[in-house]
Amino acid sequence: MHELGIVFYIIRDVKKAAQEHGVEHVNAVVMNIGEVSTVVPEYLTDCWRWAADKEDVLRGCELKCNILPAVTTCNACGKEYPTVQHGIRCPYCGSEDTVLKCGNEVEIKELEV
Amino acid sequence: MDPVKIIEIKKSVFEDNDADAGRLRKELKEKGVYLLNLMSSPGSGKTTTLIRTLNLLKDNLRIAVMEADIDSDVDAVKIKEATGIPSIQLHTGGMCHLDAEMTRQGLAGVEMDNLDLVVLENVGNLVCPAEFDTGACRNAMILSVPEGHDKPLKYPLMFSVCDVVVINKIDVLPYFDFDLDKCKEYIHMRNPKAQVIPICAKTGEGVEAFAQWILEEVKNWKQH
């Protein structure tokens, strides 16, 4: 539900980068989206199409989403496990003293120009 | 066809906002103004809780309220009528949250130099407001009994960014399967430092503890 807001942030950053590099048109924007980032890639690309086509430098520009896996580290036993499958409880020792190692990224990786 | 050229960016979408929020917090510190970001689901009793709490605080602090909603000004009008405290309405234009820049614009609409406390009532939503730092000194959230005690498990980010969790509508505890101890346990799993204050905004039970928490916070913010 907050994908449109995020799209506005992406557009602002991409326009700035395009200007800095003297680029007149961007063909694609590649995003890194973590599995537990709360961003729904389909909604993000829908909002992107609507908003990007209003900008000359981004008209027809594609938004590509790389999905990055979420991994949690257990503080009790030190092992790592996939977050989406097991949540906060470590599948090895049952501890809930766990921290997300990665998987909440919402990051602009690169531009194709 | 020209070969594709790649420009590497590698930048978090939240980076600019986080930096802006940090600058705003610093400005507030210099001015001695305490900004509290209040979040919750729609219908948890944010506005009623605010009215009760602010009526306890208004003799001791100079206060203003910023109400953020997608549309309408019902909350700002309600606050002003029930407390006499200046209250402005911010429209997010369809956005589900406020960011630091919108908060800054809101602050320009209240006379910040003559204030001790500004309460920002964020858009009712447990997902997006947690992701966007508004520049507030502290985050507070209200969870109401009918929503269930398992909310901290479903919305972990919201609970991990909040310094205080107010549990509202405790007068209806007998009618719901809401386990207050379990709820506290789940909150502390996400955030061991979070304070939990059970209240009933309708009867006023427990509201004094929340008002006291705010008073202490404002005092500390101005001193250090």
- Cβ-Cβ contacts under 8 Å between A and B: the total is 72
Selected residue of A1, A2, A7, A84 to mutate for chain B interface (largest B Cβ count, 10 A): A2
Interatomic CA distance for residues B202 and A71, integer angstroms: 43
User: Shortest Cα distance from B76 to chain A (angstroms)?
Assistant: 24
pLDDT band at B164 (very low <50, low <70, confident <90, very high): very high
Cβ neighbours of residue B181 closer than 8 Å, sequence gap 6 or more: none
pLDDT at B180: 97
Q: By the 8 A CB rule, do B123 and B98 touch?
A: yes
Burial code of A65-99, b = ≥16 C-beta within 10 A, e = fewer?
Answer: beebebbbbbeeeeeebebeeeebebeeeeeeebe
Contact yes or no for A13 and B9 at CB 8 A: yes
ipTM of the shown complex: 0.84
- Segment A37-61 mean pLDDT: 94
- Segment B172-198 mean pLDDT: 95
Contact yes or no for B7 and A6 at CB 8 A: no
At B152 the three-state DSSP class reads helix
Q: Does A27 touch chain B (CB under 8 A)?
A: yes
**Other C-beta atoms within 10 Å of B171: how many?**
14
Per-residue pLDDT tens over the stretch B56-105:
999 999 999 999 887 778 888 899 999 999 999 988 877 788 899 999 99
pLDDT band at A81 (very low <50, low <70, confident <90, very high): very high
Q: Does A53 touch chain B (CB under 8 A)?
A: no
Interatomic CA distance for residues B169 and B193, integer angstroms: 23
pLDDT at B3 over 80: no
Q: By the 8 A CB rule, do B223 and B211 touch?
A: no
- Please tell me which of the candidates B10, B13, B125 has its beta carbon nearest to residue A10: B13
- Segment A34-59 mean pLDDT: 94
pLDDT at B137 over 90: yes
All residues of chain B having their beta carbon less than 8 Å from the beta carbon of residue A13 are: 9, 11, 13, 16
pLDDT band at B2 (very low <50, low <70, confident <90, very high): low
pLDDT at A82: 96
pLDDT at B1 over 60: no
pLDDT at B224 over 80: no
A8, amino acid identity: F
Selected residue of B13, B92, B96 to mutate for chain A interface (largest A Cβ count, 10 A): B13
Q: Does B125 touch chain A (CB under 8 A)?
A: yes
β A106-112/B6-12 pair status: antiparallel
pLDDT at A29: 97
Contact yes or no for B11 and A13 at CB 8 A: yes
At B51 the three-state DSSP class reads helix
